[in-house]
Amino acid sequence: MAKLKLAVYWSASCGGCDVAILDIAERILDVVAIADIVFWPLATDFKYKDVEAMADNSIDVCLFNGAVRNSEQEHIARLLRAKSKTMVAYGSCACFGGIPSLGNFNCRAETFQRAYIEAPTNVNTDHVSPQTLTKVPEGELELPDYWDTVLALHQVVAVEYFLPGCPPPVELTNKVVDALASGELPPPGTIIASDKSLCEECDRIKEDKKITRIYRPHQIIPDPKRCLLELGLICMGPATRGGCGQRCIKANMPCRGCFGPPPGIIDQGAKMLSALASIYEANDEESIAKMLAEVVDPAGTFNRFVMSTSMLQRKHL
């Protein structure tokens, strides 16, 4: 069998998804046995011009991690889409916008002000920040136009498969490797995870208890057997797709929602808000206002990984 051609790209990303691919440890040898890596900026020295020179559809699979937030990333997403038979949105940033999509609560100017001027670790006395040039001087590299709105990959190009997680767990990456090796790929559009919510997979004791206040994780040491939400911690399990192996729950930490909404749920944040309201002892307007006052940054907390694909999409400025 001819070897597959594999590309990996890192867009608006923290780099964790690239590392997650390496986390499959010795199975990387299986990948190399079935595939030639034709583009992977983190690990190889191919340039954009090498990809441009490839024939359309000549890459079999592209694992694309990171969201899309500037014109360079859009250009490469479109380029890799044209060159690839199969695009995989790899990780929560590519699937839903991820952590970078929290930038949708601000505009570009506000993000630059915070990132380049105000951040306490900066030494930037000249207040230098990225510029968009309307006319690029000859010989100068064109600088990317940085957008106000962060997008998920499928909001820019068509995507065949979605592999959520921040980063995706090794088991699910191995599942993709197995599917590539056998040639038995699932139907396009498949989300490579569970078809259940995280709560359905979680075996913690649920007592249908109401809560009277909300705690942050550092404020209590939770009973490792009981439902974290019923202990007053914001566990996103009711509003999150399963399949991660309950990574956080097993570490006695509440789920933060990185697998995105479960099947049938359009908006993860709205689902979590309603789950929390239903478990709160009182549900009159005043009590709900008190509950929300106890949640630090409710919009960001409930949409931490999914702002690009939420019904809100962004804060309207």
Task: Return the amino acid letter for 51.
Answer: V
* Longest pairwise C-alpha distance within the chain: 68
Shortest Å, Cβ 291 to ligand SF4 = 16
Shortest Å, Cβ 18 to ligand SF4 = 8
Q: Report the residue number, 210 or 247, with the smaller CB distance to ligand SF4.
A: 247
Contact 163, 98 (CB under 8 A): no
Q: Tell me, what DSSP letter sits at residue 35? A: E
Q: Is the peptide bond before 222 cis (omega within 30 degrees of 0)?
A: no
3-state secondary structure of 85: strand
Q: Report the residue number, 65 or 73, with the smaller CB distance to ligand SF4.
A: 65
Q: Report the residue number, 98 or 103, with the smaller CB distance to ligand SF4.
A: 98
List residues binding ligand SF4 (CB under 6 A): 13-14, 16-17, 65-66, 91-93, 98-99, 166-167, 198-199, 202, 204, 206, 227-229, 235, 237-238, 240, 244, 246-249, 255-259
Shortest Å, Cβ 228 to ligand SF4 = 4
Q: Report the residue number, 54 or 233, with the smaller CB distance to ligand SF4.
A: 233
Shortest Å, Cβ 243 to ligand SF4 = 8
Q: Report the residue number, 3 or 250, with the smaller CB distance to ligand SF4.
A: 250
Residue indicated by tokens 């790929």? 185
Residue number, nearest CB to ligand SF4: 237
Q: Is the sign of the CA dihedral 22, 24, 25, 27 positive or negative?
A: negative
Phi-psi map region of 199: left, alpha, beta (phi>0 left; psi -120 to 50 alpha): alpha
Q: Which two tokens stand for residue 57?
A: 């559809």
Contact 275, 237 (CB under 8 A): no
Distance CA 141, CA 180 (A): 37
Contact 312, 303 (CB under 8 A): yes
Q: Report the residue number, 127 or 250, with the smaller CB distance to ligand SF4.
A: 250
Shortest Å, Cβ 260 to ligand SF4 = 8
Shortest Å, Cβ 235 to ligand SF4 = 3
